Amino acid sequence: MATSKALTYLESRKNLTGCACGILGLVLTFTGVAGPYWPVVVAGLYGAGALIAPPERPAPPRFPSPSEQLDEVRGDLATLRGYLGEAELPHFAGEWLERLTELLTALLDPERGAPLLAQDPEGVHVLSRAVRQDMPESVDSYVRTRWWTRLTPGQESPEVQLERQLSLLHEELTRVAAGLGEIEVRRQESHTRYLQDRGETRQGPPVRGN
pTM of the model: 0.66
Q: Do residue 47 and residue 77 come from a single domain?
A: no
Q: Do residue 116 and residue 19 come from a single domain?
A: no
Classify residue 171: in a domain, yes or no: yes
Classify residue 26: in a domain, yes or no: yes
Q: Do residue 91 and residue 131 come from a single domain?
A: yes
**Phi/psi at 76 (5° precision):** -70, -30
Classify residue 110: in a domain, yes or no: yes
pLDDT digits (tens), the chain, 210 positions: 556 555 555 456 665 666 666 666 566 566 655 556 556 556 666 666 666 566 666 777 887 888 888 999 999 999 999 999 999 999 999 999 999 999 999 999 998 899 999 988 899 999 999 999 999 999 999 999 988 877 777 677 899 999 999 999 999 999 999 999 998 999 999 999 999 988 887 766 555 554
Cα 136 to Cα 34: distance, rounded to the nearest angstrom: 76
Q: Do residue 41 and residue 140 come from a single domain?
A: no
Classify residue 119: in a domain, yes or no: yes
Classify residue 59: in a domain, yes or no: no
Q: Do residue 78 and residue 168 come from a single domain?
A: yes
Cα 83 to Cα 79: distance, rounded to the nearest angstrom: 7
The count of domains in the chain is 2
Cα 173 to Cα 163: distance, rounded to the nearest angstrom: 15
Classify residue 163: in a domain, yes or no: yes
Q: Do residue 168 and residue 123 come from a single domain?
A: yes
SS3 assignment, position 31? coil
Q: Do residue 191 and residue 133 come from a single domain?
A: yes
pLDDT recorded at residue 4: 58
pLDDT tens digits, residue range 88-140? 999 999 999 999 999 999 999 998 899 999 988 899 999 999 999 999 999 99
SS3 per-residue string spanning 77-107: HHHHHHHHHHCCCCHHHHHHHHHHHHHHHHH
Classify residue 210: in a domain, yes or no: no
Q: Do residue 98 and residue 187 come from a single domain?
A: yes
pLDDT recorded at residue 186: 92
Cα 14 to Cα 56: distance, rounded to the nearest angstrom: 8
Q: Do residue 92 and residue 171 come from a single domain?
A: yes
Q: Do residue 95 and residue 142 come from a single domain?
A: yes
Q: Do residue 48 and residue 83 come from a single domain?
A: no
Q: Do residue 20 and residue 103 come from a single domain?
A: no
Q: What is the residue range of 41's domain?
A: 7-52
Classify residue 2: in a domain, yes or no: no
